[in-house]
């Protein structure tokens, strides 16, 4: 499969980008091709302006050139994997804005469904699984991100993996890289 691997992190030596690299290497070893969409490095503008606002009376609205380029990048791949840090129990605004603008009415939902039947999210979490479970952040993220975005857009094979303990380990960062590699080889 051709996988579009979407990341958003401000620091090149982040654990998030190391996890993305580990996932990509394992997926490639498993026969997949990887195209990286590093939204930070590319300077993607996450603000949804009028040209990209859905028109509920026109599902065939032509969106901005920047959004059409992103749609084409998705369409030349077969699957999507988003690897991102958990910020405020969700994804970074940059990645959320990519979805706001690109996963648009008439293309990802409405008259049509998202072009891929498989999309995964790997969320790198600073805190522990226990801290998430205590307040239900894990369930909240699953409802919002996996059901509310991936499921809403008609994607059949969805997965949200929260990789815990990036900061508060043990077991810590090495465990996250091991998990990212395992997920790449399972894809
Ligand atoms: C703005 C901001 C918000 C964050 N919010 C959370 C959070 O809600 N839950 C959490 O587990 N970690 C949170 N973190 C920690 C990141 O998830 C952590 O930086 C990341 O998992 C791993 O490291 P990396 O930044 O080197 O990739 C936050 C970090 C930042 C910068």
pLDDT digits 0-9 by tens, 108-161: 999 999 999 999 999 999 999 999 999 999 999 999 999 999 999 999 999 999
Write down the pLDDT at residue 47.
98
Write down the pLDDT at residue 182.
98
Which segments in the chain show pLDDT lower than 70?
169
Q: Is the CB of 86 under 6 A from ligand 1?
A: yes
CA dihedral 172, 174, 176, 178 (to 10 degrees): -150
The CB-side HSE value for 94 (13 A sphere, CA atoms) comes to: 20
Write down the pLDDT at residue 61.
97
Are 121 and 150 in contact, with CB atoms under 8 Å apart? Answer: yes
Distance (Å) from CA 86 to ligand 1 centroid: 5
Indicate yes or no: pTM above 0.75: yes
Residues in CB range of 130: below 8 A, 6 or more apart: none
Write down the pLDDT at residue 168.
75
Number of the ligand 1 atom closest to the C-alpha atom of 17: 27
Write down the pLDDT at residue 73.
98
CA dihedral 73, 79, 179, 165 (to 10 degrees): 60
Q: Is the CB of 85 under 6 A from ligand 1?
A: yes
| Residue 129, domain CATH | 3.40.50.360
Distance (Å) from CA 113 to ligand 1 centroid: 31
Distance (Å) from CA 154 to ligand 1 centroid: 29
Write down the pLDDT at residue 172.
75
The dihedral built from the CA positions of residue 96, 99, 104 and 108, taken in this order, carries a sign that is negative
Write down the pLDDT at residue 44.
98
Distance (Å) from CA 123 to ligand 1 centroid: 10
| Alpha carbons 149 and 139: distance in angstroms, whole number | 14
Number of structural domains the chain divides into: 1
Q: Domain span at residue 157?
A: 2-186
Write down the pLDDT at residue 96.
98
Number of the ligand 1 atom closest to the C-alpha atom of 131: 11
Distance (Å) from CA 78 to ligand 1 centroid: 29
Write down the pLDDT at residue 17.
97
Write down the pLDDT at residue 121.
98
């Amino acid at each position: 499969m051709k996988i579009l691997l979407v990341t958003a992190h401000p620091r090149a030596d982040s654990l998030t980008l190391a996890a993305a690299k580990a996932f990509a290497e394992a997926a490639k070893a498993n026969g997949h091709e990887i195209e990286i969409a590093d939204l930070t490095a590319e300077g993607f503008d996450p603000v949804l302006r009028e040209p990209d606002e859905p028109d509920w009376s026109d599902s065939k609205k032509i969106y901005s050139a920047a959004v059409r380029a992103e749609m084409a990048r998705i369409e030349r791949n077969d699957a999507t994997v988003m690897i991102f840090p958990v910020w405020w129990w969700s994804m970074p605004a940059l990645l959320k804005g990519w979805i706001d603008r690109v996963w648009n009415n008439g293309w990802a939902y409405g008259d049509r469904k998202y072009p891929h039947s498989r999309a995964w999210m790997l969320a790198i979490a600073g805190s522990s699984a226990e801290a998430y479970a205590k307040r239900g952040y894990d369930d909240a993220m699953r409802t919002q991100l996996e059901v509310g975005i991936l499921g809403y857009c008609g994607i059949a094979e969805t997965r949200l993996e929260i990789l815990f303990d990036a900061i508060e380990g043990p077991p810590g960062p090495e465990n996250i890289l091991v998990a990212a590699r395992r997920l790449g080889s399972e894809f």
